[in-house]
Structure 1
Amino acid sequence: MEDIKAYIETGILELYVLGDVTPNERLQVEEMAQKHPAVKAELDEIERSMELYARENAINPPDSLRNRVLGSTLTNFGDDNNFTAAPHREENNSYETGEDVITLPARKENSFYKYAFAASLALLIASTIALVNVYNKLQQSNGQLVAMQLQNQQFASKVNLMDRELSIFHDPSFKLLKLQGTAKTPASAVTIAFSRAKKKVMIDMGNVKLPQNDKDHQYQLWAMVGGKPVDLGVFDASADSTHMKEMKSIALADAFAVTLEPRGGSVNPTMDQMVVLGKF
């Protein structure tokens, strides 16, 4: 059922009603309508809505346009009543009888059909203008619908991310540790969440208090294991980041520290660039 709903929300049914689909897409829509009553019902509803919209928003052509179309049509067709056939002689009989043969005037055509054609043409132009307006508004609505769907997807992704981050604080296997600033940067602080069971280390980027690094440097997180530093990855102290950042996995750690290193990180920590430190 979710697939049918998603198919309907793609906008293909509206394009089918407008005739703006490929032959393959037309066959696909017709097969879906035959197989799924929901698609058939939606298709019928779109057709009724567009017919009602066209009726309510029909635009009568201005008098000047109608007069111009009628005048142009009559000029192109011409009026046969203005011309009369010139008399001529029958070559075979005139010399034999000595009499002139006069041709009868041509039958006058009924002008009703010319006016009817001109009126039909004017109505066709007005209907085309109305249909173009409906199509443009439908395209605009489809664009707005796609934008809203994209916003909803982005919002849903953010909500899911926040739910996952919130679950970290509710997971008893995670322990929070606040790394305090060193003498180099006493006001600095970094909060991490560490789970030995899951071998995960997360940095709470929303609570990072570090001087913003430049483009040539990055902060690097280290774990102290048996007195030896272990690289856990690099990060930037960006004021725009508010999420939990997952670092490299580790199962055991006696302490954690952060140093300022060249961009990309170092093999060994630069001890005189240590900015925060914390022990369990």
Structure 2
Amino acid sequence: MDIKTYIESGILELYVAGVLSEKENQEVYNMMMEHPEILQEVLEIESAAIKLTSAAAPSSNRKKIFQAVKDHLGLGKSGKVVTIAKSKYNWITYTGWAAAIILGVGFMWLANENRQLESDVKISNTQIDLLETQIERSKTSLEEANTLISVLRDDNITQVPLAGQGNFSSTYAKVYWDKTSNRIFLDAQGLPTPPQGTVYQVWSLKLSPLTPTSLGTIDDFTSDENKIFEIENANESEAFGITLEPAGGSETPTMEQLYTLGVVKS
């Protein structure tokens, strides 16, 4: 499905207004979970509706405004939607800011109308799920940020720059090794997105004799925006390296695909 076409269909405005069926709400919710740009669009529509409503006409004129909104959206006495606006911006161009204010009030009217039609006033399960997801993501991000800040400020943390190797000389990464808690934080911002069917694999190395120990693969590299990964490491590492391997990883590093390497300074 084309994301731009979906956003411009008008269904997100109706979702915010609260007039979609449970099945349609679930569809919009699934799209928001899969496409961050759709979630961002919904949040912007909600914000715009609140701002427009607060600037709406006096209460003495609201009955006329509500009727104008109902006529514009094609709402009959049954409250069912007959037509949907073509684009999220078309409504602004109808009659300038006046039309925008009308539609802002309309969002609130439609939401109230929908609640009155229900026997029990309640928030839909999909909206609750979305709110809980947003809260959980915020908590997780905050916890990760606080952890990383404490690591970066700790003088006992060993920092190991990983330089690009061979054909991958333009790549780079950095390891922050917390020996007390047997973990490393890998900053992999300098690595390109791995080709489909491959993953980056992190290695702890002993240099004499050369003995590589796998610290695991970075399976969520593409989806992680910060490109900072926490990895367990109980090894007495003398160096760290990152190779590109087939999905699932390899028992030994593919040296032809060694992207970065860095030696721990004593």
Relative CO higher for 1 or 2, CA cutoff 8 Å, sep ≥ 6? Answer: 2
- TM-score relative to the length of structure 2: 0.48
- TM-score relative to the length of structure 1: 0.46
